[in-house]
Amino acid sequence: MIPKNYKNRLIEESISKKMRYSGAVVIEGPKWSGKSTTAELFAKTVVRLQNPITKRQYQTLATISKEEVLSGEKPILFDEWNEVPEIWDFIRVDIDENQYKGAYLLTGSTKKQNIPVSHTGTGRINSIFMRPLSLFESGISSGTVSLGDLFDGKTINSVRSTVAINDMARFICSGGWPDIIDLSMEDQLSVPRDLLASIIEKDVDEVDGVKKDKEKMRKFIRSYARNISTLATNKTIYQDQINEGLLIDPKTFDSYLNALQRLYIIENIRAWSPKIRSASTIRTSEKKQFVDPSIAIAALGMSPEKLKQDYSTFGFYFESICTRDLRVYAQTMGGEIFHYNDSSGLEIDLIIELSDGRWAGVEVKLGENEVEKAAGNLKKLAWLHENLKPSFLMILTNTQLGYQRADGVFVIPLGCLKP
């Protein structure tokens, strides 16, 4: 049942498109991001396999009859399908036999080991990733500046954002979880804490069947959170844990990291590797990132008030929420988000690259004080790119005024952005 306060998601159009040519669509993403509710928009039959009774019924049916498992008016939604993994092969065979399009939807909050996952382009079962709500989807961003318009070279008039620094601190701490809608401010801040507790106490064990030390996992996540939006290596994080008195061997470290990636909690940013006219070596380290900054905030026990006490730290978390939103927006445009770093010391926070090869450089600055330096870095990267100039260069801020500088670089508040 779709709740009255449901916020329409940008991903809905992509799901609809995939259903036109796929027999089934798998919606993957972290817990509490709204996958099930959005999937219900497209389903005529809903099977909730996270319900223990339903799960046992379908585990039994899976040993008896494919037809019984797949009975119901199509499209059929199997919510948390990996609780009964046999469903995957039943659906695959049914699609082959009947040449279905848009017959099934599956949701999953984990990539459990030894369970097959979808492969884009198979024509049978295709996947799509769903993140928490962006500021635009939440109704917070005014949407007066469109990424699509920027890529198309359209003129952007001066705009104003109504998102103050206090607001941004709260949005970072509460996150983009649909369940926080209509809650009090205090309860909004409790949601990511409860989500993190659930992940540590239950999900990290279930994802790969390996029981983990809960205190070590908490410290592991805290170490990762302290290095959010940085190029810190796993070795750095490993050393950080040793400094906390946490003795964890490299194999265990890798298993903890793998569990959080399988739960879609950690979502690092890959390095962008264009052809450039420079002798500098492009570095390929991933930038450490969470799927939503509120998880890192919860891990460190921070609050909006604590965040505002240290604007240097605030900047790293602001970059995290910018990353989350740009990933949501770029996805609707067939794009991906990267970062850039080379041996000359040139770093660009984020790169938006579309499937047709167009790209844009983005620097993230909480305020106006480093805008000039950021613009210089962006222009240097544009000069280095020998094959294709950027569609635009942008400094993403939390300032009130958005405009285009005389040198062509855009200064845009996150609270004005949309796809």
User: Which residue ranges make up each domain of the chain?
Assistant: 11-129, 145-418
The whole-number pLDDT of residue 109 equals: 85
Sign of CA dihedral 300, 304, 305, 310: positive
What confidence tens digit (pLDDT) does each residue in 46-72 have?
Answer: 999 999 999 999 999 999 999 999 999
**Candidate CATH numbers 2.20.28, 2.60.40, 3.30.70, 3.40.50; the one for domain 11-129:** 3.40.50
Helix axes 165-174, 185-198, angle to 10 degrees: 30
Q: Does 280 score more than 70 pLDDT? A: no
Q: Does 418 score more than 70 pLDDT? A: yes
Record the pTM: 0.93
To which residue do tokens 């809960």 refer?
Answer: 214
Structure tokens at 196: 């993190």
Confidence band, pLDDT 50/70/90 cuts, at residue 277: low
Contact 349, 363 (CB under 8 A): yes
Q: Does 240 score more than 90 pLDDT? A: no
Say which amino acid occupies 289: Q
Contact 416, 143 (CB under 8 A): yes
To which residue do tokens 């009947």 refer?
Answer: 98
What confidence tens digit (pLDDT) does each residue in 153-183 have?
Answer: 998 999 999 999 999 999 999 999 999 999 9
Confidence band, pLDDT 50/70/90 cuts, at residue 233: confident
Say which amino acid occupies 202: K
- Using only C-alpha atoms, the chain has a radius of gyration, in whole angstroms, of 22
